[in-house]
Amino acid sequence: MVKKANALDLNFIESKTIDWIDTDGFFSFFDRAQLNKLFIEWKRILNDNGFISFRELVSSNPVSMLANKIRALVTLPYMGIKLNLHSMQELREDFQELEFKFKSGRSPFPFLNRYCLINSSIK
């Protein structure tokens, strides 16, 4: 099923009913508070055996920070969108706060990191 919805308001999805969430490169459309709200929603709808996989452009060193700043500068005049840049450290803090177990790794694409999150209730 496909449904157009606000990612921060998933009330139409019952708690603990989703097996897998997969997404790519949209965190920069959310500020940190909104991103935290998104993660809380994901935590709510994800079942105890579920997981989340995603690839995201995040800053982890001076080169990736510069690349993301350039991406944000280009996006504003051409798309009229101000991007919110996030760091790997910021995401790790949010995942730990919400008690997600997670792994991250490099992707074949420069500055794109892969993540997999699972509920902490999984042993």
pLDDT per residue over 56-69, tens digit each?
A: 877 777 877 888 88
CA dist., res. 40 & res. 73, Å (int): 30
**Of residues 41, 42, 43, 89, the one with CA closest to residue 65:** 89
Which of 9-13, 88-92, 93-97, 111-115 bottoms out in mean pLDDT, i.e. has the lowest? Answer: 111-115
More confident residue, 4 or 105: 4
**The domain that contains 65 carries what CATH number?**
3.40.50.150
Strand order in the sheet with 18-24: 18-24, 46-57, 112-119, 100-106
Look at the block and give the residue holding tokens 């450290």: 89
User: Position 119: which residue type?
Assistant: N
Angle between the 88-97 and 32-45 helix axes, to the nearest 10 degrees? 40
Residue 47 lies in a domain: yes
Q: What is the pLDDT of residue 121?
A: 61
Q: What is the pLDDT of residue 38?
A: 95
Full domain range(s) for residue 41 = 27-119
